[in-house]
Amino acid sequence: MNARPQGVFAGIALVAAAGACFAALDTTTKYVSAWVPLLMALWFRYAFQAVATTLYVLPTRGMRALRTMHPRFHCLRGLLLLTSSLFAFASLKHMPVGEFTAIVMITPLAITLLAATVLKERVSLMRWALVAGGFAGTLVIIRPGGEAFGWASLLPLGLVGSNAWFQVLTSKLARTEDPLTMHLYTGWVGTLVASLALPFAWTHLGASWLWLALCFMGFMATIGHFMLILAYQRAPAATLTPYLYLQIAFAMLGGLLVFSHVPDGWSIGGIAMIAVCGAGGAWLTVRERRIPVEPVEA
């Protein structure tokens, strides 16, 4: 993709805005988790996205927006994202927003690990070093054996695993599928599956602000994902990836403003390690694409 400078700047701005939306989503999720059952909040988040996406897509695209060559993969992709959201909501109930976001940001590094071990792709020594550094940063935040360590500290790692597979499948589908079609199916698969558990999780919410908070969560998730789609239409993923780490800063700001939480020195060090290694991986991707690769004979 030969992106124009204006498109690149627009893509960066959209990624930054998406990061702010996701940080607002996570902060609100953590706040309402004290009053709203996890599965109920999860259903509301997906139902809002599904309805909002449908109202936007169908009037402009019509029924052709539902056409797909890989319905099974869309279902699998929706289940993976729903699993990621389940891990996210459970993690945020027990963890600070900033630390949680930083751990989730090792997903690009986890994808590198999947590429090497499952997809049998060649991974350079530098990439392995960045993966090791990112996971080391995660251990610094989690600190197994420390006083702050608990079983809930492992929940974000489940999110990283499911999200890594989600991203791999997304990259495969994006070669033949319309992004809006992918977005539409993802929302409805998550909504329909979450609806199965809704009767067991539904509870009466007396306060009107809780309903507003749930609507806000759905709105932030929908707008955030849509902004990412627009961003990747304007600039290459490798160019935009470093700016995804702005979400950590937004999440730390949300944790400070809403919960008065300030990460300790160890957590800040781990967050910095993850951000540097993740941004380094993006820089390495750009560098490798500029160097012609010689064909390898089997």
CA distances from 155 to 90, 103, 161 (A): 7, 10, 10
- CA distance linking residue 230 with residue 246, whole number of Å: 18
pLDDT in tens, the chain (298 residues): 455 667 778 888 998 999 999 999 999 999 998 899 999 999 999 999 899 889 988 888 888 888 888 889 999 999 999 999 999 999 998 888 988 888 888 887 787 777 777 767 777 888 888 888 888 888 888 776 555 556 777 888 899 899 888 878 877 787 788 878 888 898 899 999 999 989 988 988 888 999 999 999 999 998 988 888 788 778 776 677 778 888 888 999 999 999 898 888 888 998 888 888 888 877 777 676 654 433 333 3
CA distances from 245 to 162, 191, 237 (A): 19, 28, 13
How many Cβ atoms sit within 10 Å of the Cβ of residue 201? 15
Closest CA to 210 of 81, 28, 53, 59: 28
Rg (CA), the chain: 19
